[in-house]
Amino acid sequence: MSYSGDMRRAALTLLTLLLLGAGGATAQRRASSGFWYSVGVAPGWARITCQICAGKRRTGLSAVVGIGGSTSRAIRIGGELAAWRERDGGVTQTLMSIGAGAYWYPNTARRLYLRGGVALVMHRTSDGTDVVTSSGIGPQMGLGYENRVGRAWLLAPFVQYSVGVFGGDVKFNGGQAASGATVSFLQVGAALRH
């Protein structure tokens, strides 16, 4: 199976699980009002470091979608799928982060939140002939500040960082090229949550 096929399969699996969970959450929404979903856009920076990698941080456009539920007034949980893309000359880089985490609101006013979780981060570089792929699993952390923009919507500027440090490897056209890769992804943007 190709790397892009693996990325699609992982994303499809996560979205299927999230949608199945959302079905149950939707049924309980009237009682608990805990179901939520969000969409956001952000400038994103991706960086790959390994024995043979340049380690430069590249800037591109990214997007994020999330879905989940609230366990209490102070905590909500969910899954997120983030994607990033950058093109320079004939080289295209893409990154996908699939994560699950918890959002903690230290204040009962529920405006500022801190996020922690785990993510699978996958990166791909292609010049149309050769393909270099990297991936890793690791922590995901962030923070945001929600502002009400209507009866049902919240707008939240956020900062989020994912880093794949475990199980990281680098493949060149499908063959092992290096081990011990670290794939990091930083987003600074805004998301709408319902």
Q: Average per-residue pLDDT in the chain?
A: 82
Classify 191 as helix, strand or coil: strand
Rounded to 5 degrees, what are φ and ψ at 151?
-65, -30
Average pLDDT over residues 30-56: 78
Topology of 3-22+35-193 in CATH? Porin (2.40.160)
With cut-offs at 50, 70 and 90, classify the pLDDT of residue 37.
very high
Mean of the pLDDT values across residues 147-158? 91
Direct distance between the N- and C-terminal alpha carbons of the chain, in angstroms, rounded to an integer: 37
pLDDT at site 9: 54
Q: What is the domain partition of the chain in residue ranges?
A: 3-22+35-193
Strand-pair category, 154-164 with 131-145: antiparallel
